[in-house]
Amino acid sequence: MIPAAFDYLAPTSVEEAVAALTQFGDDAKILAGGQSLLPVLRMRLNAPEVIIDLGRIEALRGIREDGDAIVIGAMTPHSVVGKDPLVAEHAALISEAVVHLADVQIRHRGTFGGALAHADPAGDLGAPVLALGAEFVIAGPSGTRSVHADDFFVDLFETAIGEDEILTEIRVPKHTGWGAHYAKFVRVAHQWPIVAIAATVRVEGGTIAEARVGMTNMGSTPLRARSVEEALTGQPPTDEAVRVAAAMAADGTTPPSDLNGDSSYRKHLATVMTRRAVLAAAGA
Amino acid sequence: MTATTERPADSTKEIGKDRRRKEDQRLITGRTRWTDNIVLPGMLHVAMVRSPFAHATITNIDKSVAEAATNVVTVITGADVAEEQGGLPNAWPITPDQIAPVHSPIAVDRVVFAGEIVAVIVARSAAEARDAAELVDVDYDVLPAALDLKEAAEDKVLAHPDLGTNKSAYWTFDSAQAGTGGNVEEAITKARTDGIVIEREYRQQRLIPAFMEPRSTVVDPTGEQITMWSATQIPHILKFLLAAVTGVSEAKIRVIAPDVGGGFGGKLQTTPEEFITFLLARRLGKPVKYTETRSESLMAAHHGRDQWQKLTLAADKDGKVTGLKVDLLADMGSHISLVGGGVPVLGAFMFNAIYKFPAYQFNCQTVLTNKTWTDAYRGAGRPEATFGIERLMDELAAELGVDPFVVREKNWITAEEFPFTTVAGLEYDSGNYEAATARAKELFGYDELRAEQMARRASGDPVQLGIGVSTFTEMCGLAPSRVLGSLDYGAGGWEHASVRMLPTGKVEVLTGVSGHGQGHETAFSQIAADRLGVAFEDVEILHGDTMVSHKGLDTYGSRSLVVGGEAIVKAADKVIEKAKPIAAHLLEASVDDIEFEAGRFSVRGTDQGLAIAEIALATFAAHNLPDGVEPSLDSDATFDPVNFNYPHGTHLCAMEVDTETGQVTMRKYAACDDIGNIINPLIVEGQLHGGLVQGIAQALWEEAVYDDAGTLVSGSFVDYLLPTAADTINFDLDHTTSPATTNTLGTKGVGEAGTIASTPAVVNAIVDAVRHLGINDIQMPCTPERVWNAIQGVHKGGATEAAAMPHFDPAEPGQDSTEGSAQ
Ligand SMILES: Cc1cc2nc3c(=O)[nH]c(=O)nc-3n(C[C@H](O)[C@H](O)[C@H](O)COP(=O)(O)OP(=O)(O)OC[C@H]3O[C@@H](n4cnc5c(N)ncnc54)[C@H](O)[C@@H]3O)c2cc1C
């Protein structure tokens, strides 16, 4: 379908983009890879008057190492993140998740920052970055600020990014040597997860020394299964021990009901997938 | 009839070669014109305003704002054209008293499904037409909608209050009455006392054909003929019906189906959009174009299947079936479309499948609802029937505690019994179920997989294994005009071909079938090349334009090769007969001494001869022809077969079921099909692969779901789950060969075989994997949730939650949603 008419801006710096956002306010919309925005425009669910394309801002692309963190530029396409050796070494959970996101074409166009800013609770990247405790760098008229993953996801399609702000990069603390697994439950290959579990663990001397578990599509935002993480700490990575911890995964969650499964089914899936993800992450 | 697994390939013959498809170069590289690519001088663009409600009275339409919008040429409503728009045709009234609502292209005062057209915009660009469509203000009074098929059958809420009922037609067949078998009630009564009665109710969910190319129409009224390009399967039928409905002379209409990107029955239709664009072009005197969006296609292009099947199978204690009774409810949706009513009737002849049932009864009630109208979808009636009976045969085996093949062998028609007249009154000409089954079991590794299944069961493996059997047959190659007539079908089933011998030795073959991805150009070239003894490359297949291929009945029902291909053979044979006297004259011999072989006319017993191309050139020059012989070799033929044909095969599927999650995974799929002689093995593989996946998709993924208000919830490919290559496995396929006896090529249709066969094989396998847990059915599509619920013993089968997950929410971060209306 054909979107309503709009004006198109393609700034080449973050400052210019922020200035444009400030100028047009509510009437403007940021375009990253367009993989979520364009369907919205084409189905005429939204009709912004101005589109601000971030595609020409080189500074927003790329992946680098910065001390204890890996820094991923917001405009880095999924396909680049999925193949990046730094990410694989220090934040393997992200590599695991991103290769299962959508299909090849969408991974080439869609961006890391765009997906996180879109904040679809079924999106595959929220749970891993939440589990890894990432920091979100956000630029606005009064400079940049940093928001912790715990505070970034506000609600369904809603984040801490303000109306006149742009997500510029995501700083992921290094989890070097941690085992990781993203267990995505789908009916067909190229589908948003019905439920997915992002698990990463540090195994030391036969026990789980630290564990991080993020959950996709178990509520209106990505969630962290803290009780599972705690219960796993100090346990051996055995089916028996992990099963007990994983049984708590869905406690207190209110997952959605839809064509692919109702809420209670999702809760059940979360426990099974948590067990499987943790065991796989621990190499068991 | 011999069953062989390999046909010795004769390297001098084209038939049997796995030729790469000659049309693929242009189709794959896009060096062709689809309807939407066609641009004409002064062409205007059309956009539709569609009803968001399933059932509502239109109380007012304010089109003034839209009319005033930039570059809008006109806006019309149903009321504006009520007198001239006509009604969409129903070509198959299945009973004399069938009730069918008037089917106006544009709704006039009431809408009867969500997606129905209520107003039409014509503008100078497609974008402006779309913009203006958002500006039409329609007031509706919402009416209660008839949505659930079973409730609709009870007339609780009427889809069309003026008709007084939702029941459209009741069609029955009874073998005792027809004299083709015994009394089914007696068989059931007897089985209740001393035999086995299996009673089941199965659901055929609603499906969407989901062809790749959306439907598109361009109409050019400038010139003597009004030309319509349409992405259709049926250009000839469309031309006839445009004339019949509008009163425009048939000779003044030209329909062109250029390259068409798939149909699967979904383009076996005359559409509101075709009639609207035809009307607009005539009214405005300018070319107009309409191309639907994918959302419109999913919502308003016809749907398929949607039945409830109540089945009663009676058998004796040994598993010999004594009778089968079928009670169907079939959801027609809002209208009785082109052949929609006839689709379940096509299944009437197939519930008895490959078996020798002594008594059979089929009753079908077609029902109107306030949902998108249904019609043919790949297999049309036969997948439904095959699913029903093949599920039942597995249930009978389970009841008896025997292997599913035991009950099949006990009941099937044996190879020596062909030709065999079935309890439904059809004569199966050829087949060999034993041979196909033996080969399929071998390909599958049946015994090994059974052993693995037992081992997993014994060890309590969380991943259980199930094996599903489907020994299908079908009737296809539509087909005998007399039979179609006896079923009150509105047309015949013949097919036409012309062969034109060009002076340069090239050959043009005109066919009345209208391919839309099947590979006709390749297969038909192989046939013509062999018959005429010319090179494959020298044959050009022309089709899809009623001014070129002037006569035909188009493509559906696996008919193109078995009916259309045979017409080509007959036309080619006439060419040869016409060439013989000319050859004799030029070779100074008697016609009786002329032999034709491998493209050469020669004088028996000599080395004298002329190639067919030389005769073609001599005929073109016409300088030296025998007296009284017309200077043309070109020939026409129209072929009407005396029978359908009956492909069959044994399909075996192994499914793994993760009992912890309900996830199902295909482990192995093997099939041995008997489709008679094969013209091009590569094309056959392609048809089978695609067909299998489409049938598997019904078992596992696809379902059109409406919510309580009658809105299509699975309205995009996010929620209407189509498989891709990533969701399929390698299929192990082979063939046995029992040539058809009713066409000289010995071919049987293959276009629908895979789809018909695979669905029950998959569901049987899933049920088989969990039967030991007390499960004997899971409703399609067998979603992980349904499987898991069945394992938990909660609401077995279960309805799909009528809600879609929003991935494209308008409430964007930091943004208010703006004024764009959600049309
Ligand atoms: C068919 C299909 C299947 C998909 N399957 C999956 C899947 O399985 N898993 C999954 O996780 N995702 C899936 N996606 C979504 C995909 O990940 C998108 O790439 C992602 O959601 C959006 O990224 P984008 O770069 O395309 O952003 P866009 O579509 O350009 O933007 C999305 C939203 O974020 C805003 N935005 C973008 N960048 C910024 C920024 N730097 N600062 C502030 N706001 C910004 C935009 O204004 C817009 O509102 C799928 C998409 C499609 C079309």
* Cα–Cα distance measured from residue B767 to residue B773, given in angstroms and rounded to the nearest whole number: 10
Q: How far apart are CA B396 and CA B384, in angstroms?
A: 18
A117 CA to centre of ligand 1 in angstroms: 8
Chain A CB contacts of B714 below 8 Å: 259
Does A82 contact ligand 1 (Cβ within 6 A)?
no
Tell me what pLDDT residue A4 has: 94
DSSP letter (8 states) at residue B220:
E
Hey, how many other C-beta atoms are within 10 angstroms of the C-beta on B596?
18
How distant, in Å, are the alpha carbons of B475, B477, B498 from that of B566? 17, 11, 12
How far is it, in rounded angstroms, from Cα B691 to Cα B694?
5
Q: What H or E segment, with its residue span, contains residue B463?
A: strand B463-473
Q: Give the mutation target among A30, A56, A145, A156 for probing the ligand 1 site: most ligand atoms within 8 A of CB.
A: A30
Q: A170 CA distance to ligand 1 centroid (A)? A: 15
Collapse the DSSP code of B688 into the 3-class scheme (helix H, G, I; strand E, B; otherwise coil) and give the result. Answer: helix
Asked, for residue A122, whether it belongs to a domain, the answer is yes
Q: Which of A143, A173, A203 is the last residue of a domain?
A: A173
From the list A45, A256, A257, which residue is nearest B808 (CB)? Answer: A45
CA distance A129 to A114: 14
Domain stops at, among A139, A173, A207 = A173
Residue A2 in domain? no
A114 lines ligand 1 (CB under 6 A): yes
Which chain B residues are within 8 Å of A165, Cβ to Cβ? 814
Question: What CATH number should be reported for the domain holding residue A163?
Answer: 3.30.465.10
Chain segment B107-143, per-residue pLDDT in tens: 999 999 999 999 999 999 999 999 999 999 999 999 9
b (16+ CB within 10 A) / e for B54-67? bbbebeebebeebe
Chain A residue at shortest CA distance from B785: A261
Give yes or no for residue B803 having a pLDDT over 60: yes
- Cα of B461 from ligand 1 centre, angstroms: 40
Q: Across the interface, do A1 and B803 touch by the CB < 8 Å criterion?
A: no
User: Is ligand 1 within 6 A of the CB of residue A113?
Assistant: yes
Instruction: Report the C-alpha gap between A117 and A163 in whole angstroms.
Output: 12
Does one domain contain both A39 and A138? no
Of A49, A187, A262, the CB nearest to B701: A187
Whether residue A118 sits in one domain with residue A84 = yes
Distances from the Cα of B79 to the Cα of A169, B82, B85, B272, B751, angstroms: 57, 5, 10, 15, 42
Q: How far apart are CA B383 and CA B753, in angstroms?
A: 9
**What sign results for the dihedral spanned by CA atoms B238, B240, B241, B243?**
positive
Could you tell me the two tokens for B723? 């498989």
Model confidence band, residue B800 (pLDDT cutoffs 50, 70, 90):
low
pLDDT at position B9: 56
B411-460 residue pLDDT tens = 999 999 999 999 999 999 999 999 999 999 999 999 999 999 999 999 99
Beta bridge partners of B673: B649, B735
Chain B positions touching A48 (Cβ under 8 A) are 815, 818
Residue B160: left (phi > 0), alpha (psi -120 to 50), or beta?
Answer: beta
Q: How confident is the model at residue B478 (pLDDT cuts 50, 70, 90)?
A: confident
Would A155 be classed as within a structural domain?
yes
Same domain for A153 and A63? Answer: yes
Ligand 1 pocket check for A111: Cβ under 6 Å: yes
Angle at B809 between CA B130 and CA A220, to 5 degrees: 170
Per DSSP bridges, beta strands A50-53 and A7-9 are parallel
Condensed to tens digits (0 to 9), the pLDDT of residues A144-155 reads 999 999 999 999
Residues A116 and A160 in one domain: yes
| 3-state secondary structure at position A197 | strand
Category of B128 on φ-ψ map: left (φ > 0), alpha (ψ -120 to 50) or beta: alpha
Please tell me the distance from the alpha carbon of residue A140 to that of residue A66, in angstroms, as a whole number: 22
A167 bridge partner residues: A138
> Which pTM does this prediction carry?
0.95
Residue B123 backbone phi and psi in degrees, to 5: -140, 175
- C-alpha B91/C-alpha B255 separation (Å) is 19
Q: Hey, whose CA ends up nearest to atom 6 of ligand 1?
A: A102
| Alpha-carbon span B350 to B366, nearest angstrom | 18
Assess whether pLDDT exceeds 50 at residue B6.
no
Looking at the structure, tell me whether residues A150 and A228 fall in a common domain. Answer: no
Distance CA B284, CA B578 (A): 49
| Spatial CA neighbour of A183 closest among A283, A96, A89, A94 | A96
| CB atoms inside a 10 Å sphere around CB A85 | 9
Whether the per-residue pLDDT at B823 is higher than 50: the answer is no
What chain A residue is nearest to B714 in terms of C-alpha separation? Answer: A259
**In this structure, are A231 and A151 located in the same domain?**
no
Atom of ligand 1 nearest to the CA of A77: 25
Distance CA B249, CA B463 (A): 65
Comparing alpha-carbon positions, the chain A residue that sits nearest to B822 is: A45
Task: Give the contacts of A124 (CB within 8 A, at least 6 positions apart).
Answer: A97, A98, A100, A101, A115, A182, A184, A192, A193, A196, A216
Q: Which of B724, B805, B814 sits opposite A189 (nearest CB)?
A: B724
Q: What is the mean pLDDT of residues A237-243?
A: 97
Alpha helices in A25-84 (DSSP H): 37-42, 78-83
Angstrom distance (rounded) from CA B217 to CA B673: 38
In a domain, A133, yes or no: yes
CA quadruple B654, B658, B661, B665: dihedral positive or negative?
Answer: negative
What are the phi and psi torsion angles at B493 (to 5°)? -135, 20
Q: Based on the domain organization, do A169 and A76 belong to the same domain? A: yes
| Maximum distance among all Cα pairs of chain B, rounded to whole angstroms | 92
Instruction: List chain A residues with CB under 8 Å of B660.
Output: 272
Shortest Cα distance, chain A CAs vs residue B433, angstroms: 34
Last residue of a domain, one of A124, A141, A173: A173
User: What local confidence, expressed as pLDDT, does residue B352 receive?
Assistant: 98
pLDDT tens, residue by residue, A184-198: 999 999 899 999 999
pLDDT at A117: 98
Measured between beta carbons, which residues in chain A are less than 8 angstroms from residue B800? 259
Q: For residue B344, is the peptide bond before it cis, meaning its omega torsion is within 30 degrees of 0?
A: no
Pair A80, A115 in one domain: yes
Pair of tokens at residue B10: 């004769």
Query: Residue B739 carries which side chain, given as an amino acid letter?
Result: P
Q: What is the pLDDT of residues B595-606, one digit of tens each?
A: 999 999 999 999
Q: How confident is the model at residue A74 (pLDDT cuts 50, 70, 90)?
A: very high
Provide the CA A274 distance to its chain's centre, in angstroms: 17
As for how many domains chain A has, the answer is 3
Out of B663, B703, B805, closest to residue A258 by CB: B805
Same-domain status, A47 and A127: no
Query: How is residue B211 annotated by DSSP?
Result: -
Q: Which residues of A touch B718 (CB under 8 A)?
A: 192
pLDDT average, residue stretch A138-167:
97
Question: Do both A197 and A90 map to the same domain?
Answer: no
Single out the residue of A223, A230, A227, A214 nearest to residue A180, CA to CA.
A214
Cβ neighbors of B675 (< 8 A, separation 6 or more) are: B647, B649, B684, B735, B747, B748, B749, B750, B753
* Spatial CA neighbour of B269 closest among B89, B118, B492: B89
Distance CA B22, CA A75 (A): 43
Q: Tell me the sheet residues that pair with A181.
A: A199
Q: Looking at the predicted structure, is the pLDDT value of residue B235 above 80?
A: yes
Pair A157, A219 in one domain: no
Q: What is the mean pLDDT of chain B?
A: 95
Measure in Å the smallest separation between the Cα of A138 and chain B Cα atoms.
Answer: 13
Q: How many Å lie between the alpha carbon of B417 and the closest alpha carbon of chain A? A: 44
Q: How many CB atoms lie within 10 A of CB B537?
A: 10
**Picking from A33-42, B241-250, B758-767, B798-807, which range would have the lowest pLDDT averaged per residue?**
B798-807
Q: Which two tokens stand for residue B263?
A: 């149909």
Cα B207 to averaged position of ligand 1 atoms, centre (Å): 29
Cβ–Cβ < 8 Å for B641, B495: no
| Per-residue pLDDT, B371 | 98
* Residues in chain B closer than 8 A to A265 (CB atoms): 785, 788-789
Question: Which residue's CA lies nearest to atom 36 of ligand 1?
Answer: A114
Cβ-defined contact of B660 to A272 (cutoff 8 Å): yes
pLDDT given for residue B801 in this prediction: 59
Q: Is A272 an 8 Å CB contact of chain B? A: yes
CA dihedral B770, B776, B781, B787 (to 10 degrees): -40
Locate B101 and state its tokens: 């609502």
Picking from B526, B469, B673, the residue whose alpha carbon sits closest to that of residue B5 is B673
Pocket test for ligand 1, best of A37, A54, A104, A159 (most atoms within 8 A of CB): A37
Range of the domain at A256: 179-281
CB of residue A117 inside a 6 A radius of ligand 1: yes
Q: Domains plus CATH for chain B?
A: 35-143+214-260+267-300 (3.90.1170.50), 168-207+302-477+643-791 (3.30.365.10), 502-636 (3.30.365.10)
pLDDT at B794: 73
- A13 located within any domain: yes
Tell me the longest C-alpha to C-alpha distance in chain A: 61
The per-residue pLDDT for range B64-74, each reduced to its tens digit, is 999 999 999 99
DSSP B729-791: --EEEEEE----SSSTT-B---TTHHHHHHHHHHHHHHHHHHGGGT----PSS--HHHHHHHH
Preferred mutation among B698, B729, B807 to probe A, highest tally of A CBs within 10 A: B807
CA distance B204 to chain A (A): 17
On chain B, the residues whose CB falls within 8 A of the CB of A1 are 130, 293, 295
- Are the C-beta atoms of B489 and B661 separated by less than 8 Å? no
pLDDT tens-digit series, residues B735-766 = 999 999 999 999 999 999 999 999 999 999 99
Confidence bin at B471 (pLDDT 50/70/90): very high
Model confidence at B10: pLDDT above 70:
no
The whole-angstrom separation of Cα B272 and Cα B87 is 9
Residues in A 48-67 with any Cβ partner in B closer than 8 A: 48-49
Q: How does pLDDT run across B99-113, given as a tens digit for each residue?
A: 999 999 999 999 999
Whether A228 is in the pocket of ligand 1, judged by its Cβ within 6 Å, is no
- Residue B561 DSSP code: I
Q: How far apart are the first and last CA of chain A?
A: 49
Inter-chain residue contact A259 with B134, CB threshold 8 Å:
no
CA-wise closest residue to A228 among A242, A218, A238: A242
Between B796 and A131, residue with greater pLDDT: A131
Q: Are strands B539-542 and B507-511 parallel, antiparallel or unpaired?
A: parallel
CB within 8 A of B337, min separation 6: which ones? B88, B90, B103, B269, B302, B373, B374, B375
CA of A103: how far to CAs of A110, A188, B308, B376, B808, in Å? 10, 11, 36, 31, 17
Q: What is the pLDDT of residue B12?
A: 84
Among protein residues, the one whose CA lies closest to atom 5 of ligand 1:
A102
Q: Residue B11 — pLDDT band, cuts 50, 70, 90?
A: confident
Nearest to B762 by CA among B470, B471, B439: B470
Task: Count A/B contacts: CB-CB distance under 8 Å.
Answer: 142
Q: For residue A39, is pLDDT > 90? A: yes
Which protein residue has the closest C-alpha to ligand 1 atom 34? A118
Angle between helices A263-281 and B784-792 (to 10 degrees): 100
> Residues A38, A141: one domain?
no
Q: What is the CATH number of the domain that holds A220?
A: 3.30.390.50
